Amino acid sequence: MKKIVISKLFLYRYRFIIGYVVLGVAFIALLVSLPLIAQKGLSEAEIESATSSYYLGKDGILSGDLIDLPYRVLQKYSIKFFGLSAFTIKLPSIIMGLLLGFLLILLLNRWFKSNVSLLASCLIILSTPFLFLAGSGTPLIMLIFWPTLLLWLGSKIHGERRPKPLYSFMFALAMLFSLFTPYMIYFAVFCVFFVFLQPHLRFIVKNLPKLPLSLIIVIILAGVTIFGISIYHHPNTIMELLFAKDFRLGLFFGNIAAGMAPLFSWYNSLENVFLSPLVSLPVLALALIGLFSTTKGFFASRNSIASVLIVFGVVITGFNPEAVVFLILPTSILIAHGVKYLLEKWYGLFPENPYARISALFPLTILFGIIIVPALLQYVYGYRYNPTVANEFNYDLSVIRHNLTDEKLVVNEYFDFYKILENSTNIKIVDQIDRDSKVAVLGAPESMPPRYKLSRIITSSMRDNSDIIYIYTYSDKEGE
């Protein structure tokens, strides 16, 4: 009987490729279906983001409208081409979430072995905070996207004796675009100092071909010049890029406390859009193991980068509590370190026993199963049924689109937002009641003109006050 050689089996030889393909397909399917399986409403931040994006002018850079400009341009054309809906508002984040997920996989695969990066990637991109960011129609996801992209491009440059000029060009371009996102100026300054302080990186920059290096310098100088001129004419912009719109120094530590609260609490005591705990207990334990394992050889770049990013994340949380989501990136790196540590310790117990190595699949499957499955369930059901979080979302837009066709809709709150509906529907948005035979009012009106009679109330089961739209009819005859 022929002896079976495990290393020659198809599934064994291509196990990582198969694993990444399965993970990629599941990840894409999950992100595309996010607006259907989780929160269908819109938070106040999403409504404000969609409004500012849609009314973004062509001269946004020159007029000082720089904050999150790349994301807002993408959101503007998503709404303009496909109409105003919850899906089109969230579509830019879904696209950026797909890119960010694959960048995290590529980054971890660059720094760790395939088995470690595959397992760690499953824990990260299928976690509740990551899925929330990818399904939220705000530029908050860019706070993680740009550093992840820069770290991956940096690893492609740092890890090669003669890196391709294309990666250096992309790194410079990504750093320039990242400046439009708040707090990324600090990260860009850190990257520049790191290049000058690291001898190998200085050598790489000096030995880049002249033409690509010249193009990089020209692009950076041109971009920074336009950026500087715009900030000079609109100095308030620099405050939003460096701190926050209404930031005061006395709020710094209070913002850190508010931002860190979802990390350590098991219930949502504060009114925000984050489910608690933001990081589950098993994931936190795995990240702490990873942090412990990096103490040996701390000054190696891959070991120290997570600690540096944690400090950076805490600092920017002091400017804006929602910036706590930045900690997803260093947590991802620490999780990979934790998985690596566990695998090395297990294999170290049985260095010559292949059966012991294979048997590790069973406890690992159980461990990752009890981490991933509850995280998915928490995301799907938490945003629907957790009263503190669910009440932070507004379902009026979906109710309007499903129940109105060509009526006049009277809107008082978020008028500019609902006015966008006129470009893709026959609904007329007005701010006062005219003498019409039929009129719809968003929300319960305090008073109505004479001879208007309530004919219908449109409700929603997704919030406490279920009455959304009041339909009135007008009669010329008194008493009817």
| Beta bridge partner(s), residue 472 | 439, 454
What's the pLDDT tens digit per position in 230-285?
Answer: 777 777 777 888 877 777 777 888 888 888 888 777 665 555 677 777 788 888 88
How many separate helices (H) and strands (E) can be counted in the chain? Answer: 23, 7
Q: Which residues contact 316 (CB under 8 A, 6 or more apart)?
A: 143, 183, 186, 323, 326
Distance of CA 121 to the CA centre of its chain: 16
Q: How far is CA 239 from CA 57, 66, 145, 338, 450, in A?
A: 21, 12, 22, 38, 50
Can you tell me whether residue 360 is helix, strand or coil? coil
Terminus-to-terminus CA distance in the chain, angstroms? 95
Distance of CA 1 to the CA centre of its chain: 55
Q: β-pairing, 428-430 with 452-459?
A: unpaired
pLDDT, position 79: 92
Q: Peptide bond before 363: cis, by omega within 30 degrees of 0?
A: no
Report the 10 Å Cβ neighbour count for 60: 17
Can you tell me whether residue 412 is helix, strand or coil? coil
The residue with greater pLDDT, 349 or 93, is 93
pLDDT at 74 over 90: yes
What's the pLDDT tens digit per position in 131-146?
Answer: 888 888 899 999 999 9
What's the pLDDT tens digit per position in 287-296?
Answer: 888 888 877 7
pLDDT at 7 over 60: no
Contact 289, 120 (CB under 8 A): no
Q: Nearest Cα to 468, choosing from 478, 457, 452?
A: 457
- pLDDT bin (cut points 50, 70, 90) of residue 478 is low
CA distance 99 to 174: 14
- pLDDT bin (cut points 50, 70, 90) of residue 368 is confident
Q: How far is CA 227 from CA 149, 192, 244, in A?
A: 21, 18, 18
CA distance 144 to 242: 16
Q: Which residues contact 203 (CB under 8 A, 6 or more apart)?
A: none
Distance of CA 349 to the CA centre of its chain: 40
Q: Which residues contact 71 (CB under 8 A, 6 or more apart)?
A: 53, 92, 96, 139, 141, 142, 181
What's the token pair of residue 78?
Answer: 């998503």
Domain boundaries, given as residue ranges, for the chain: 20-390, 395-474
Contact 68, 180 (CB under 8 A): yes
What would the mean pLDDT of 350-379 be, rounded to a whole number? 76
Q: Nearest Cα to 378, choosing from 131, 27, 46, 122?
A: 131
**pTM of the predicted protein model:** 0.87
- pLDDT bin (cut points 50, 70, 90) of residue 1 is very low
pLDDT at 202 over 80: no
Can you tell me whether residue 467 is helix, strand or coil? strand
Contact 51, 416 (CB under 8 A): yes
Per-chain mean pLDDT for the chain: 79
Q: Which residues contact 419 (CB under 8 A, 6 or more apart)?
A: 411, 429
